[in-house]
Amino acid sequence: MDLGLKGRRAIICASSKGLGRACATALAEAGCEVVINGRNQQVLDETAKAIAQATGAKVTAVVADVGTAQGRAALLAACAEVDILVNNNGGPPPKDFRQLSHGDMVAGVEANMLTPIELIQGVIDGMVARRFGRIINITSGSVKAPLPMLDLSSGARAGLTAFVAGVARQVAASNVTINNILPGAFLTDRLRQTASAAAAKNPGQSADDILAARTKAIPAQRLGNPEEFGKLCAFLASDHAGYITGQNMLIDGGAFPGAF
């Protein structure tokens, strides 16, 4: 399927690896010029080279912390007219809510709610003026079904979800859409790190044991492949998805046990 994205310009935050990289790759495959982002120069350069070689797309690498004003400014400066914005950022580490300091909570809200909102503010008027825009926020399946120890991540991302719900309706008539993708368990570095941290607190269990138990609880009986996540992102960014806005797309192998 031709997604109608040839020549479109996309910024994908936190895209040197994991789900962000998968989104950047899928958009590049669809014909977009992509701006990718990460904090590690070497990893980011390797990712940029790999995506460019695999797709033939123009790839611009911006080393920056998207959680800072300077980092956001650098990203926006690298792409004069943004057609597609994919908001992504690492979540706070697992922690019992009783142990969260005020500073922890402020940092979590800054990273997973305020940062994407500020980037949306930076691109949305241009999208409206050009009558095309796709904004995709990578949130989490925990927005619908909170997970223990991830209360701060769930809360901050739920705040973003509610905030953009109204904004999406304000710009829909200008062919600008805002949607959220809610990933479940995908085989990424972050999932491996979380499993390793859980294993360290549970003597007798390995990270592989933790991942196996997580997999067993998923109806699909497997962890997600980042590539299939990227394909969903590319579709939501496409011409074909112009009538989809203000929605939360859960992609979790059936783990959420609800009909709605």
Secondary structure string (H, E, C) spanning the chain: CCCCCCCCEEEECCCCCHHHHHHHHHHHHCCCEEEEEECCHHHHHHHHHHHHHHHCCCEEEEECCCCCHHHHHHHHHCCCCCCEEEECCCCCCCCCHHHCCHHHHHHHHHHHHHHHHHHHHHHHHHHHHHCCEEEEEECCHHHCCCCCCCHHHHHHHHHHHHHHHHHHHHHHHHCEEEEEEEECCECCHHHHHHHHHHHHCCCCCCHHHHHHHHHHCCCCCCCECHHHHHHHHHHHHCHHHCCCCCCEEEECCCCCCCCC
What pLDDT is recorded for position 201? 83
162 CB neighbour count, 10 Å cutoff = 10
- At 169, the amino acid letter reads R
Does the pTM of the predicted model rise above 0.85?
A: yes
User: How far apart, in whole angstroms, are the C-alpha atoms of residue 15 and residue 40?
Assistant: 11
User: How far apart, in whole angstroms, are the C-alpha atoms of residue 134 and residue 170?
Assistant: 14
pLDDT tens-digit profile, the chain (260 residues): 899 999 999 999 999 999 999 999 999 999 999 999 999 999 999 999 999 999 999 999 999 999 999 999 999 999 989 999 999 998 888 899 999 999 999 999 999 999 999 999 999 999 999 999 999 999 999 999 988 889 999 999 999 999 999 999 999 999 999 999 999 999 998 888 888 888 888 888 898 988 999 999 999 999 999 999 999 999 999 999 999 999 999 999 999 999 88
Among 94, 44, 49, smallest CA distance to 66 is for: 44
What pLDDT is recorded for position 147? 85
Please identify, in words, the CATH class of the domain defined by 9-184+225-251.
alpha beta
What pLDDT is recorded for position 93? 85
Domain locations along the chain: 9-184+225-251, 187-223
Among 151, 131, 132, 128, smallest CA distance to 140 is for: 151
Instruction: Please tell me the number of Cα atoms within 13 Å of 71 on its side-chain side.
Output: 18
Distance of CA 71 to the CA centre of its chain: 17
Structure-block tokens of residue 78: 């690298």
User: Are the CB atoms for 26 and 32 separated by under 8 Å?
Assistant: no
